[in-house]
């Protein structure tokens, strides 16, 4: 698999990250190295950049692509464990962090990875194919109530209960093994009249929910952001690109809490909790991709970029 793809909101990332020649940075979602390469180029090739990814193919591809930069270091692992992984690499302070939470185009476009509802392929969906359960194993063993909750909460799918019921009925006859099996279960659950009126593929939300469950994408996200923020030097920035409302709400809430951590009653005359602001939120909230980028790369349509800058202590 060729892991090169067009990095989303690259111009905006470079604008807000403002990479310094002598800085130390982390790309927690390395992928094909598109963002990392541009950041290293912006530094004049002299910055240190540590790229983390749990996909072995991504690590190999980015390492080959960025080998000309002496400051590039690839780390195999999950960015949720970024603080520990960086400590093991001897890094305890950063000048910038990037997290691009989308699924890489090469993963989507490689049928055997099982992320796409457009091709019939084994139900895998694991970011790291060397560990964890596959989507097929999850779908064939999870209880109906859990499936309904996951598809409802993480896919924001209003037909979640019916989809979960159909999945359980189908797996009694024959275990779900391919992406087409899951697509057919969704089609059977959602009335044809409703499917005709929906924007996008009817199985899109269900695939998103199962992918999140298989890769445990949401539960550790806030802790990871806080861990990376701890590592930032004053003035250092963390940039996070999200692609669906669940992730974006977590990042928005986390940044808001870091910017205003006070837990005193709103009418208290003075703050007595002692909690000081950790970051300053930049960009006026969420920064959206340009219409030109969306026209060039439709997968950027749902992207949002949020930026926070580490405050000096005191």
Coil, helix or strand at residue 287 = strand
Comparing CA positions, the residue from 41, 7, 9, 40 lying closest to residue 25 is 40
Residue 27's H or E segment, with its range, is: strand 24-27
Is the alpha carbon torsion for 292, 296, 297, 298 positive or negative? positive
Query: Is the pLDDT reported for residue 156 higher than 80?
Result: yes
Query: Is the pLDDT reported for residue 49 higher than 80?
Result: yes
**111-215 CATH:** 1.10.150.170
104 or 255: whose pLDDT is higher?
Answer: 255
- Using pLDDT thresholds of 50, 70 and 90, give the confidence band for residue 220: very high
Please report, for the chain, the start and end positions of each structural domain, with discontinuous segments joined by +: 10-101+218-310, 111-215
> Can you tell me the distance from the alpha carbon of 191 to that of 165, in angstroms, rounded to the nearest whole number?
14
Q: Tell whether domain 10-101+218-310 is in CATH 3.40.50.150.
A: yes
> Can you tell me the distance from the alpha carbon of 307 to that of 17, in angstroms, rounded to the nearest whole number?
9
Would you put residue 235 in left (φ > 0), alpha (ψ -120 to 50) or beta? left
Query: Is the pLDDT reported for residue 111 higher than 80?
Result: no
Query: Is the pLDDT reported for residue 2 higher than 70?
Result: no
Taking residues 95-104, report their average pLDDT. Answer: 90
> Can you tell me the distance from the alpha carbon of 220 to that of 182, in angstroms, rounded to the nearest whole number?
27
Query: Is the pLDDT reported for residue 1 higher than 70?
Result: no
Model confidence over 247-256: pLDDT tens digits? Answer: 999 999 999 9
17 or 1: whose pLDDT is higher?
Answer: 17
Query: Is the pLDDT reported for residue 108 higher than 90?
Result: no
């Amino acid at each position: 698999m060729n892991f090169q793809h067009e990095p989303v909101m690259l111009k905006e990332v470079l604008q807000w990250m403002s990479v310094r020649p002598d800085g130390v940075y982390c790309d927690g979602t390395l992928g094909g190295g598109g963002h990392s390469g541009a950041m290293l180029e912006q530094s004049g090739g002299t910055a240190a950049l540590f790229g983390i990814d749990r996909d072995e193919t991504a690590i190999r591809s980015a390492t080959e692509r960025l080998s000309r930069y002496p400051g590039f270091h690839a780390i195999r692992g999950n960015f949720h464990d970024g603080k520990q992984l960086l400590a093991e690499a001897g890094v305890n302070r950063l000048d910038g962090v990037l997290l691009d939470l989308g699924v890489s185009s090469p993963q989507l476009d490689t049928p055997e990875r099982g992320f796409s509802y457009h091709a019939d392929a084994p139900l895998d969906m694991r970011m790291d194919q060397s560990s964890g359960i596959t989507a097929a194993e999850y779908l064939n063993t999870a209880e109906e109530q859990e499936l309904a909750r996951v598809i409802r909460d993480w896919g924001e799918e209003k037909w979640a209960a019916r989809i979960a019921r159909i999945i359980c009925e189908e797996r009694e006859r024959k275990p779900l093994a391919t992406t087409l099996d899951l697509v057919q279960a969704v089609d059977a659950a959602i009335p044809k009249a409703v499917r005709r009126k929906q924007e996008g593929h009817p199985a899109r939300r269900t695939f998103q929910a199962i992918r999140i469950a298989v890769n445990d994408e949401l539960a550790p996200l806030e802790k990871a952001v806080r861990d990376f923020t701890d590592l930032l030097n004053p003035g250092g920035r963390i940039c996070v690109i999200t692609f669906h409302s669940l992730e974006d709400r977590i990042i928005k809430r986390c940044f808001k809490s870091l910017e205003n951590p006070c837990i005193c009653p709103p009418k208290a005359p003075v703050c007595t909790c002692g909690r000081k602001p950790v970051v300053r939120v930049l960009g006026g909230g969420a920064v959206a991709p340009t219409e030109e980028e969306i026209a060039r790369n439709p997968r950027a349509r749902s992207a949002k970029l949020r930026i926070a800058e580490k405050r000096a202590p005191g």
